[in-house]
Amino acid sequence: MRVCPYMQHDKNLRGVSAIARVVLPMHTWQQLVDNMNAKGDVLAVARLAGMMAAEQTGTLAPGYGLSHHPHLHLDVKLAPSVPGQVLVNASAASHGSECVGMVAMTAAAVSALTVYDMCKASSKSCVIQELTLSESYK
């Protein structure tokens, strides 16, 4: 899912961004750089898992039922300036009072968990260091 261009200009839109950071040992991080992880393309799988989880936010977190799915932009990438880290940035936006914060947090959390899970066979030292809301707008 990608953010639609009109979203940047719509004053009735509620949105939120969540970030997660996964810290990996250098040999495990280098496997991601070289796309040599035994379980496959970690970043692509983490992106897909985060998007799928975002769609299930109402099921995963009762009380956060969604009448429709918010727009979601999910980016899972190797930190360009900090070797050994994977950055997850999830931005969700919707009209109305939907729980976009939970959608963004769910997407970021599950993406980070997927990176952790796919890399733990290479090293038990992988750590999800951060999961937080980074910005909110209305």
List the catalytic residues. Answer: 117
Helix axes 42-55, 100-119, angle to 10 degrees: 150
Q: How far apart are CA 107 and CA 90, in angstroms?
A: 6
Are 106 and 19 contacting, i.e. CB atoms less than 8 angstroms apart? no
For residues 132 and 59, the answer to whether their CB atoms sit within 8 Å is no
